[in-house]
Structure 1
Amino acid sequence: MNRGIAYAALAYLAWGLFPLYFKQIAEVPSLEVVMHRTLWCLVFMLGVLAFTKRWAWLRELGQSPKVLAAFLLSALLLSVNWLVYVWAVQTDHVLDASLGYFINPLVNVALGYVFLHERPRRLQWVSVAMAGAGVLWLTLQTGRLPWVALVLAISFGFYGLLRKVAKLGALEGLTLETMMLTPIALAALGWWTWTGQSAISAALNQGETVTMGWLLFAGPLTAIPLLLFAAGARRIPMSTLGLLQYISPSMQFMLGVWLFNEPLQPSRLLGFALIWSALLIYSLEGWLHGRKRG
């Protein structure tokens, strides 16, 4: 198998299994989970940077206020995405979370048109319209916007847009983002521990270390799939990467229905079907267009 495909598939496979991890620590409040994820991800990334001796980019940051501002915004978007996703999994909204990542590629098309002046092809616009119809149908059926899916899709869409035009690579960029968020994480975790409200204080009081082990694991669990994705993206065409990206939400959807037994009413299934059809058209169009250019 092509190594690029293997790297990217492993990244998407890991992301697709994330609900299993967050269910494992469901007793820890979602905000505290995000604080731990931020802190231990930074520790892991600093270890990788130390091993690879890639520190030169840090010296240039002080001379690039625009880069710092852009990454501060991307860090905030990432934290919102993480928080909503963890909350969704812990409160039995895995299907809504999967829907968000099914919609995300089509959000990317719209953002590329608005901000990067990209010109989507006709069938790509058809896909966006069908996805919009699916969201509208789900809204009418439930009486409210599928806000979890929309927040995840839009936050990650804007995050991807910022990272697309950023000057730093995946490793350096994630390190900088978590570095910016870590003072907040440390302050929050320190306060919760001081007041006896954190998972750390509970573990110390009860002599129980399993939960702490799971929280520490959030560092490599966050960083490794991203590094695999970056390695895969450099080796395979975007059309192939676009097809592989549906591994994650598909796995999340199956986990939500078959493992976590979340209800899926037939009326909601029609909305999902519209979005899946949109993605099928979008993927086939991209694949055919890539073959013509090749």
Structure 2
Amino acid sequence: MKPTDTRPYFAAGIAAFVIWGFIPFPLKALAAYPSGQILYFRVASALVVLLVISLVFRRRKLLSTFAALQTAGPREKRTFIGYTLLGGLLLTINWLTFIYIINHINIQTGSFSYLLCPIITAVLGFLLLKEKLRLNQWLAIGLSALSCALIGSGELTSLVFSLLTAFSYAFYLITQRILKNYDKIVLLTLQLLLSFALIGPFYSYFKGDSMVMLDTHFFLNIGMLSLVFTVLPLFLNLFALKELTSGSIGILMYINPILNFVMAFLYFNEHTTTTKVAAYVLIFISVILYNINLKGRKKSGDGLVIPPVGTTAIRP
């Protein structure tokens, strides 16, 4: 059998993470609006798009997912409902904290969160899923903890929001791992539906006393955030996962936070401290150390750096 040409899949994977890497642009364009209000309209618009896609273009997948759920046992149904609800809640928290970080703290903190996230996911995989870690991975975890201590010693608020963003996304990946047999687009649609049901009644609270008008500028950027920076890279990522290994996607995932860092300093003119630089260097070293001998890892993926093949990561 002729080997599959993986170049289109690599191109799709790279494109997905490059797109996610530029997400600060639409978020910064909406900095005048409350974070909760941005979240509300992002969830609503992304949900509408995914519902249309699921009902019109992926109806068979939607029906097969619910058919599989109907034939599942009571325990499997409880697992599906529980982790879908939890996934929706975690996704809501993750998106809200990331929006707040980018617009009210700095891009560096958001980038740090997603460099830290795979390491945290590895620890959670070890604790919750009993996945094994190698010695170099434990050393990487130790360096990551040290980098967190450095960030916390200089600016506790940044550390708290970094950890909240990283832990919410890491726990979200764990829920996706547990629900690995279900279609990810269907799951995301249900999770966003639950997210909207959760935040919908509190729109007035999310809006607060903001008097900024919801004009064309607002809705254009919300549309970009939902279509270009949520749905499009998700489908590109799903396409890439058809042929690429978990290890390959795991390396590509770091494109996103690295681009965030570059933009923070070169475009948005953010400043940093010596302590933060040391913390960032440590987290970069820990990422490299963690991924040493990546090709030699088992197919199942020890440490759960990323979701295994057949699942997908939903970026902020």
Indicate whether 1:165 and 2:178 are aligned: yes
Match of 2:62 in 1: 55
Looking at structure 2, the residues matched to 194 and 289 of structure 1 have their Cα atoms a distance apart, in angstroms, of 47
Match of 1:80 in 2: 93
**What TM-score, normalized by structure 2, do the two folds share?**
0.82
| Aligned pairs, number | 284
Looking at structure 2, the residues matched to 46 and 261 of structure 1 have their Cα atoms a distance apart, in angstroms, of 39
Match of 1:70 in 2: 83
Looking at structure 1, the residues matched to 152 and 99 of structure 2 have their Cα atoms a distance apart, in angstroms, of 22
Q: 5+ unaligned residues in a row in structure 2: which ranges?
A: 1-5, 300-316
* Residues 59/246 of structure 1: CA separation in 2 closer, same or farther (3 Å cut): same
Match of 2:314 in 1: none
Q: Give the residue type in structure 2 aligned to 1:146.
A: L
Looking at structure 2, the residues matched to 223 and 194 of structure 1 have their Cα atoms a distance apart, in angstroms, of 25
Give the superposition deviation at 1:192. Answer: 7.5
Q: Give the residue type in structure 1 aligned to 2:290.
A: Y
Q: Which one is further off, 251-260 or 56-65?
A: 56-65
Match of 1:46 in 2: 51
Give the superposition deviation at 1:141. Answer: 3.3
Per-residue CA shift, 1:237-270, capped at 9, x if unaligned? Answer: 1111111111000011111122122211122111
* Residues 118/282 of structure 1: CA separation in 2 closer, same or farther (3 Å cut): same
Give the superposition deviation at 1:7. Answer: 1.5
Looking at structure 1, the residues matched to 255 and 106 of structure 2 have their Cα atoms a distance apart, in angstroms, of 18
Match of 1:137 in 2: 150
Indicate whether 1:279 and 2:293 are aligned: no
Residue among 208, 217, 230 paired with 2:224: 217
Maintained 8 Å contact 1:36/1:185: no
Looking at structure 2, the residues matched to 67 and 239 of structure 1 have their Cα atoms a distance apart, in angstroms, of 27
* Residues 288/69 of structure 1: CA separation in 2 closer, same or farther (3 Å cut): closer
Looking at structure 1, the residues matched to 23 and 67 of structure 2 have their Cα atoms a distance apart, in angstroms, of 35
* Residues 193/271 of structure 1: CA separation in 2 closer, same or farther (3 Å cut): closer
Maintained 8 Å contact 1:81/1:151: yes
Match of 1:3 in 2: 8
Match of 1:182 in 2: 196
* Residues 192/156 of structure 1: CA separation in 2 closer, same or farther (3 Å cut): closer
Match of 1:149 in 2: 162
Indicate whether 1:258 and 2:266 are aligned: yes
Per-residue CA shift, 1:101-157, capped at 9, x if unaligned? Answer: 001111111111111111111111111111111111222233667112111111100
Maintained 8 Å contact 2:20/2:233: yes
Looking at structure 1, the residues matched to 273 and 207 of structure 2 have their Cα atoms a distance apart, in angstroms, of 45
Looking at structure 1, the residues matched to 50 and 273 of structure 2 have their Cα atoms a distance apart, in angstroms, of 42
Identity of aligned residues (%): 20
**What TM-score, normalized by structure 1, do the two folds share?**
0.88
Q: Which one is further off, 105-114 or 259-268?
A: 259-268
Looking at structure 2, the residues matched to 129 and 197 of structure 1 have their Cα atoms a distance apart, in angstroms, of 43
Looking at structure 2, the residues matched to 193 and 246 of structure 1 have their Cα atoms a distance apart, in angstroms, of 32
Give the superposition deviation at 1:19. Answer: 0.4
Match of 2:35 in 1: 30
Match of 1:247 in 2: 255
Q: Which one is further off, 79-88 or 65-74?
A: 65-74
Looking at structure 2, the residues matched to 185 and 131 of structure 1 have their Cα atoms a distance apart, in angstroms, of 33
Maintained 8 Å contact 2:37/2:206: no
Give the superposition deviation at 1:61. Answer: 5.3
* Residues 251/195 of structure 1: CA separation in 2 closer, same or farther (3 Å cut): closer
Looking at structure 2, the residues matched to 146 and 196 of structure 1 have their Cα atoms a distance apart, in angstroms, of 28
Maintained 8 Å contact 2:35/2:206: no
Looking at structure 2, the residues matched to 222 and 197 of structure 1 have their Cα atoms a distance apart, in angstroms, of 26
Residue among 92, 102, 108 paired with 1:89: 102
Give the superposition deviation at 1:173. Answer: 0.9
Maintained 8 Å contact 1:61/1:68: no
Looking at structure 2, the residues matched to 85 and 163 of structure 1 have their Cα atoms a distance apart, in angstroms, of 20
Q: Which structure dedicates a bigger proportion of its chain to helix?
A: 1
Residue 55 of structure 1 aligns to a residue whose secondary structure is helix
